[in-house]
A and B are shown apart, each in its own frame.
Chain A
């Protein structure tokens, strides 16, 4: 009973304060600019409790953009390992979800799901900021229902 209550409180808190870390695994910068748009007054994700953090140890959500290149593989894994759990990975953009036009290249592994467990895919080239917000809202829903960790 008490444990249930504590669990529920934790979920509520986690849902309402998702701190975001953004990492480009080798993309063209298109999606990065759209992610930066989220912080501007027009989209303002702080009203949803999300802040962009610079240190992986402070972050809850890893927003990945771009296809995973061989060079970025190790860094991506290290950043993920430095984040304290519970943590979520979101693949932003077509390259990050599947590898898109870079699929099959000998220096590219493909989407982020080759390396990390991805919780949410947001396709688009580049994704519109509204799309990213919609995706993050769905992630919040999923945290409330406790489907993913």
Chain B
């Protein structure tokens, strides 16, 4: 009972993921600033932002569905935190079961749908535009991402993230066998997180703040937290699926390797958002269906052929 609560609230659960999310945000913003030859925010910046948002007044625009607006960020936060529970951190997997990869995929798409609903519920014109864009983006990146992520599962012969991670100890990291799959998965993850080259739903020069335009105070704080935790969970997932070796027998070595791989993924994400400019929504849909889906199918075909 107490052990379960500890898992849920402290180690792979709430506290750990939130702290990781805040650290991720700081590293990401600092890296982006350094890429642009700026100094960047101090280390406590994400904490200060969060506390400030919680201290602010909570405005509800006239005509919006206030209960829905309160529930949506909470639902997406809990979905993302639950997804994080099933992903092995170094070697630690208290809740792993066969097929949790699919559960994680489902839970990770809850924030996108909630983001769309948030735009509709808060009735601003920019919110509705941002919501519609987020759904269009969802249809573009989700299919290639799902096809790509089944590559490691087929290769390892299991749909459990822990099992996939473990099988890379003997077979070698899957990034060597599926470099194309890894790149596609990173693109899909960027789309899922609405990060810079694919931040079409929240592009501030076009649709102000996307679905979150009308959100203020604690609700906005929860939304930013959802984004950060989602990023961390996505990175943990890709680290386990492609990079391997975070499952070494020595706990210390496993933690060290996991940390290095996590930082490497953050570096990849920050670099892409610093280097590339934003795509238009039609360009993204074209990229998703004309390029990413055929490439993902090719990669999956190769994986299946290699297995035979």
Residues of A within 8 A of B (CB): 9-10, 12-14, 16-17, 41, 44, 46-47, 49, 53-55, 57-58, 60, 82, 84-86
> How far is it, in angstroms, between the C-alpha of A58 and the C-alpha of B49 when the chains are bound?
11
With A57-B59, A57-B216, A82-B59 as contacts: A44 and B48 at CB distance below 8 Å: no
B38 close to chain A: CB less than 8 A: yes
Which residues of B have CB within 8 Å of A82? 59
Residue pair A16, B40 in contact (C-beta under 8 Å)? no
Residue pair B217, A84 in contact (C-beta under 8 Å)? yes
> How far is it, in angstroms, between the C-alpha of A47 and the C-alpha of B301 when the chains are bound?
48
> How far is it, in angstroms, between the C-alpha of A12 and the C-alpha of B204 when the chains are bound?
27
Which residues of A have CB within 8 Å of B197? none
Count class of interface residues, chain B: 20 to 34
> How far is it, in angstroms, between the C-alpha of A85 and the C-alpha of B217 when the chains are bound?
9
Q: Pick the contact of B45 from A17, A54, A55 — CB < 8 Å?
A: A17
Residue pair A47, B58 in contact (C-beta under 8 Å)? no
With A47-B38, A57-B214 as contacts: A13 and B48 at CB distance below 8 Å: yes
For window 196-211 of B, CB contacts with A under 8 Å fall at 204-205, 208-209
Q: Pick the contact of A84 from B39, B58, B208 — CB < 8 Å?
A: B58
> How far is it, in angstroms, between the C-alpha of A36 and the C-alpha of B50 when the chains are bound?
25
With A13-B52, A16-B44, A55-B213 as contacts: A44 and B57 at CB distance below 8 Å: no
> How far is it, in angstroms, between the C-alpha of A60 and the C-alpha of B217 when the chains are bound?
11
Residue pair B41, A55 in contact (C-beta under 8 Å)? no
> How far is it, in angstroms, between the C-alpha of A14 and the C-alpha of B45 when the chains are bound?
11
